[in-house]
Amino acid sequence: AQTVTQSQPEMSVQEAETVTLSCTYDTSENNYYLFWYKQPPSRQMILVIRQEAYKQQNATENRFSVNFQKAAKSFSLKISDSQLGDTAMYFCAFMTFGNEKLTFGTGTRLTIIP
Amino acid sequence: SAVISQKPSRDICQRGTSLTIQCQVDSQVTMMFWYRQQPGQSLTLIATANQGSEATYESGFVIDKFPISRPNLTFSTLTVSNMSPEDSSIYLCSVRGTGGTEAFFGQGTRLTVV
C-alpha cells in the first residue's frame, strides 16, 4: 500500500515571500503520478500541479514548482511570490499508473500574511 | 475538464437517520469516487462507483453503512445510513477527466450529525 506523509501541519509566510511545502511518499511501484491539490475555505479541491514519475524534469505552473526526488521519494511544492489567495490547505497525493484511486497526505495549512 | 454538481452542500441531521448525497457530472465518466474528509483531516476514499456494477469499497467502509448507486455514466448517489455524530464530515464526489490524470471534485457536502 502507498502512504503519503506531510510533516508540516501548518505554515505561514508573509505575502510575496517564497514557501516550500514538504511531502514524502512510500511505494514499491515504478510508474506513478504525484499531485498537489489546494483546498481553500470554499472546500473546492483544486489541482495545483502534477508530476509524472517517469519524467526527470520538475513540473512548473506559473508561481508553483516542484522538487521531485524519485530516489528519495520526496515531492516538495514551492510557491514563489506568495499571494493572499494562496491561503488554503494543501494536500500531496499519489496515484499509481493504471489505478485511478488517489492517496492523500494529511495536509498542510498554509496562511499568507498580508 | 469536468464540472461536478454535488447536493446538498450541507445538512444537519438527527442521529439514526440517513442522508443521500447526489453527484452529477457534465460528461460521461467510467468511474466516480466518493471520499470522506473528517474535521481537520485528509481525504479518505470510501468507494469507487462503476456504472452497471456494484461499488468497490475500501477497507473500513461497508455497503450497509454507505450504499452507493450508479444508474448511469453521469450520476451517482452516496447514502450515509443510520448516522451517528462520528459520521460528521465532508463528503466529496470525484471523477477523472477523460484521457487525463487530473481528478475533479465536487464542492463537497458538509454533514453534521446531532
3-state secondary structure of A35: strand
Gap between the Cα atoms of A16 and A11, Å rounded: 15
Residue B74 distance to chain A (closest CA, Å): 17
Gap between the Cα atoms of A32 and B70, Å rounded: 28
3-state secondary structure of A36: strand
Gap between the Cα atoms of A106 and B98, Å rounded: 27
Which residue in chain B is spatially nearest to A107 when comparing CA positions?
A: B42
B19-75: pLDDT as tens digits = 999 999 999 988 899 999 998 889 999 999 988 888 999 999 999 999 999 999 999
Contact (CB, 8 A) for A12 and A113: yes
Task: Give the closest of B41, B43, B101 to A50, CB-based.
Answer: B101
Residue B1 distance to chain A (closest CA, Å): 11
Kindly give the confidence (pLDDT) of every residue in chain A, 114 residues in length, as a single tens digit, with 9 standing for 90 and above: 789 999 999 999 999 999 999 999 999 988 999 999 999 988 889 999 999 999 989 999 999 999 999 999 999 999 999 999 999 999 999 998 877 789 999 999 999 999
The verdict on A44 touching B (C-beta cutoff 8 Å) is yes
In this predicted structure, the answer to whether residue B99 has a pLDDT above a threshold of 80 is no
